[in-house]
Structure 1
Amino acid sequence: MSKKSSYLLGILLTIVIGAFLYWKFCCSACHKQNKHIEENTKNKVVAVPDEKKAALNSFSVNDANGNLAFTIDDNFRFNKSNFAILDSVSSGVNDGVLKIKDYLNANSQKTVDITGYYTNEETNNSAFPNLGLARANSVKNYFVSKDVPAKAINTFGKLNDEIVADENGIFNGPLAFNIVTHNSSDDSAADNALKSACAALKENPIVLYFKPAHSSITLTSEQRKKLAIISQCVDKLGSKIQVIGHTDDTASKESNMRLGKKRAEFVKNYLVKNGILSENIETSSKGESSPIADNSTQEGRAKNRRTVITIN
């Protein structure tokens, strides 16, 4: 064998022996490690998040300081992202409302709190600060239709991501009811605070501005808060909502009076669709007679095309 052949054979043997030693000592360890990982993976329990199921929240009332207590396996129902009560109210729920009415009539120092729930996944298309308050207001209106005095009802809205809609997107009873017993000192303080809030609203009412072809209303968060105060002023103090339409002076006085009234009625319809009772809303028009800006400029005319929502 030539010297060159011996040299090449030595290189080949070195490669073969090196590959064998690598497989024996390295790959064997890798194989053991991979097997260990596979076994751990098989034995590992994968946590699956609990799926929340829709449930009926019963219509339940229990006065801890009195003798009214009942639970009805039914409730007011609402579509997801909506505040209108669904379908006809069942006889059981209606009977519960009548029990509350009789109880409040017999106990003048007591009121009922209605708390409406909403979730972060819902869209608030109401005129109220949140969908829960809008739902509570709808239920309040149902109570009022059954002759429960509005003055004896308090409404609240509360975020509650634990409530779940059913497969049809319906919430069954996203509400809580509570009977509250009052004393005279608490009532006086609450009345004074509300009177102050109502007086402040008269000084700084809700003002909606209209473009020439305006056909929709979108309230700001601040205006939604004001509307919630207006609703309390109506319920607790017997106030009436005043909706007053104003125009610029680009048409005749007679036409502008009609246009102002039309705008006021448009806003009233919006409020009624959002759960404000029609009988608590009065509309009027001042046409072009009360400008707040110069009608000779485009900016001034835009400010004068407005509707004011206030209370008497």
Structure 2
Amino acid sequence: MSKKALYLLGILLTIFLGTVLYNSLCATCCAEEEIVEETMVIEEPVAATMNPFLVNDSNGDLNINVNDNINFKVSGISILQPVSQKVENGIDSLKRYLGAYPLKTLKITGYYTSDEINNSAFPNLGLARANAVKNYFVSKGMSSRQIDTFGELNDTLVPDQDDVFYGPEAYEIVTREEGDESHLEGLTLIAEDIKANPLVLYFDTAESSINLSTEQREKVAKISRYLDKVDGAAITIVGHTDNTGNAESNMVLGQKRADFAKSYFIRNHIPESKITTISKGQTEPIADNTTDEGKAQNRRTIVTLN
């Protein structure tokens, strides 16, 4: 083969290898660019839910619309303070309106999300929040007999970056007819049920919380409703012990357990003025104190309606 042919062949080979290397390197670079572009995609944060303090009466002239509300922390049942002056003014208007129209009832629906943890004594955080708002309104002069509370799951709620829910509640005015007492239906049944089957708590006084079953939470909700609707209604919390130790020290221990339960209910929006505590110590066992199982049953705190 001549030198000229070899020279031309070398040029062609160089061009071919250059093309192959270029395509290979280009594909790698493009792939890396695509990966970089994909990793640079940042989703916009979802805006926090901002529910106004909105209370309207379709059968009257009440129209409150405040661009603020009563707020709570995620998984919280305590109202965040301070409440804005605009909301306070709206509450004052609502109080005057309900006072002028005793046949009007305010329905408060508290919202909660499925991601929250319910450490309250109520069946759900929404009902606990509604009761917190109810108690706040009562402290401002409203009658608890004109307020009904409810809880509702609402997974559309979005907290802000500080885990605050802005207005996880809704309000509605309902008007009943003169002589209609259907709103009080069931109160007698509640009283009979709680007195026949009181709420029984088993816990160590060293614990900072009480874990309630679903059935127990339902009883707390019933007790709260009864206390709101019946004049003079109250609860008594009785502390009991087993027979370990002497009778005098057990009477003190029973009182400590009753007082601990009282503080728990106060934190869960049961008014302190409606709670009485006493101790029976070891005087009323319900099981055999010679067995561990029996002693555990006797170490109890009972909550019932007066």
TM-score bracket for this pair, using the shorter chain length: 0.7 to 0.9
The CA distance in 2 between the partners of 1:231 and 1:194, in whole Å, is: 11
Task: Tell me what 1:203 maps to.
Answer: 196
> SS of the counterpart of 1:158?
strand
Unpaired segments ≥5 residues, structure 2: 1-41
Contact 1:210/1:302 (8 A) holds in 2 = no
Per-residue CA shift, 1:101-158, capped at 9, x if unaligned?
1111110101111110011111111111000001111111110110101111100000
Contact 1:80/1:171 (8 A) holds in 2 = yes
> SS of the counterpart of 1:202?
helix
Q: CA deviation at 1:50?
A: 9.1
2:107 is matched with which residue: 103, 113, 128? 113
User: Would the alpha carbon gap of residues 293 and 231 (structure 1) be closer, same or farther in structure 2, given more than 3 Å must change?
Assistant: same
The CA distance in 2 between the partners of 1:289 and 1:181, in whole Å, is: 50
The CA distance in 2 between the partners of 1:247 and 1:89, in whole Å, is: 43
Task: Tell me what 1:236 maps to.
Answer: 229
Per-residue CA shift, 1:156-176, capped at 9, x if unaligned?
000111111111111110110
Task: Tell me what 1:217 maps to.
Answer: 210
**1:266 and 2:260 aligned:** yes
Structure 2 counterparts to residues 158-177 of structure 1, below 5 A: 158-177=152-171
The CA distance in 1 between the partners of 2:245 and 2:199, in whole Å, is: 25
Task: Tell me what 2:144 maps to.
Answer: 150
Q: Number of aligned pairs?
A: 264
Q: CA deviation at 1:190?
A: 3.4
Q: Output the amino acid matched with 1:205.
A: P
User: Would the alpha carbon gap of residues 210 and 87 (structure 1) be closer, same or farther in structure 2, given more than 3 Å must change?
Assistant: closer
The CA distance in 2 between the partners of 1:212 and 1:97, in whole Å, is: 39
**1:300 and 2:304 aligned:** no
Q: Output the amino acid matched with 1:199.
A: E
The CA distance in 1 between the partners of 2:140 and 2:46, in whole Å, is: 35
Q: CA deviation at 1:52?
A: 4.0
The CA distance in 2 between the partners of 1:58 and 1:213, in whole Å, is: 41
Q: CA deviation at 1:49?
A: 9.6
**1:285 and 2:279 aligned:** yes
Task: Tell me what 2:25 maps to.
Answer: none
**1:123 and 2:113 aligned:** no
**1:190 and 2:183 aligned:** yes
**1:56 and 2:42 aligned:** no
Unpaired segments ≥5 residues, structure 1: 1-47
Q: Output the amino acid matched with 1:295.
A: N
Q: Output the amino acid matched with 1:121.
A: D
> SS of the counterpart of 1:154?
strand
The CA distance in 1 between the partners of 2:148 and 2:106, in whole Å, is: 6
RMSD: 1.8
Q: Output the amino acid matched with 2:235.
A: I
> SS of the counterpart of 2:158?
coil
> SS of the counterpart of 1:89?
coil
Q: CA deviation at 1:235?
A: 0.3
The CA distance in 2 between the partners of 1:252 and 1:119, in whole Å, is: 48
Contact 2:205/2:257 (8 A) holds in 1 = no
Q: CA deviation at 1:198?
A: 2.2
Could you list the runs of 4 or more consecutive aligned residues of structure 1 that deviate by over 6 angstroms after TM superposition?
48-51
User: Would the alpha carbon gap of residues 215 and 125 (structure 1) be closer, same or farther in structure 2, given more than 3 Å must change?
Assistant: closer
Task: Name the larger-Rg structure.
Answer: 1
Q: Output the amino acid matched with 2:88.
A: N
TM-score normalised to the size of structure 1?
Answer: 0.80
Task: Tell me what 2:31 maps to.
Answer: none
The CA distance in 2 between the partners of 1:191 and 1:260, in whole Å, is: 35
Q: Output the amino acid matched with 1:201.
A: I
**1:77 and 2:71 aligned:** yes
Q: CA deviation at 1:53?
A: 2.0
Q: CA deviation at 1:215?
A: 5.5
Aligned residues: percent identity?
A: 50
Q: Output the amino acid matched with 1:106.
A: A
